Amino acid sequence: MAALIAENFRFLSLFFKSKDVMIFNGLVALGTVGSEELFSVVAFQCPCSPARNYIYGLAAIGVPALALFLIGVIWNNHTWNLVAECHKRGTKNFSAAATFLLFGSIMGRAAVAPVTWSVISLLRGEAYICALSEFVKPSSLDKFPSEYGAETLARFPCRDVPANLTKFRDEVTRRLRYESQLFGWLLIGIVAVLVFLTKCLKHCCSPLSYRQEAYWAQYRSNEDKLFRRTAEVHSRILAAKNVKHFFGFVALDKEEKELVQEFPVEGVQPSPQWNAITGVYIYRENKGFPLYSRLHKWAKGVEGNGPTPEGHELLFLAS
pLDDT value of position 187: 94
The residue among 13, 50, 64, 41 whose CA lies nearest residue 316 is 13
CB atoms within 10 A of CB 140: 10
pLDDT value of position 246: 94
How distant, in Å, are the alpha carbons of 229, 243, 279 from that of 226?
5, 25, 18
pLDDT value of position 223: 95
> Please, which pLDDT band fits residue 91 given cuts at 50, 70 and 90?
low
What gap in Å lies between CA 133 and CA 53, rounded to an integer? Answer: 8
pLDDT value of position 310: 39
Which own/partner pairs from 229-236 qualify as long-range (CB within 8 Å, at least 24 positions apart)? 233/259, 233/263, 234/263, 234/265
Angle subtended at Cα 56 by Cα 53 and Cα 57, rounded to the nearest 5 degrees: 80
Amino acid at 44: F
Amino acid at 75: W
Q: Are 276 and 295 in contact (CB under 8 A)?
A: no
CB atoms within 10 A of CB 306: 8
Going from N- to C-terminal start, the domains of the chain cover 34-205, 210-300
pLDDT value of position 304: 59
Rounded mean pLDDT, 210-222: 89
pLDDT value of position 95: 63
Q: What is the pLDDT of residues 42-57, one digit of tens each?
A: 567 888 888 889 999 9
**The pLDDT of residue 129 is above 80:** yes
What gap in Å lies between CA 114 and CA 31, rounded to an integer? Answer: 11
Q: What is the pLDDT of residues 263-306, one digit of tens each?
A: 988 888 898 899 888 887 777 788 888 899 989 999 988 865 54
> Please, which pLDDT band fits residue 11 given cuts at 50, 70 and 90?
very low
pLDDT value of position 228: 94
Q: Which has more confidence, 144 or 175? A: 175
> Please, which pLDDT band fits residue 218 given cuts at 50, 70 and 90?
very high
Rounded mean pLDDT, 127-154: 83
**Helix (H/G/I), strand (E/B), else coil: 188:** helix
**Residue partners of 79: CB distance under 8 A and separation at least 6:** 73, 106
Q: What is the pLDDT of residues 24-41, one digit of tens each?
A: 555 556 666 566 555 554
Q: Among the listed ranges 6-20, 138-152, 192-206, which one has the minimum average pLDDT value?
A: 6-20
What gap in Å lies between CA 235 and CA 238, rounded to an integer? Answer: 5
Query: Average pLDDT of the chain?
Result: 79
The residue among 215, 224, 204, 190 whose CA lies nearest residue 15 is 204
3-state secondary structure 239-266: HHHHHHHHHCCCCCCHHHHHHHHHCCCC
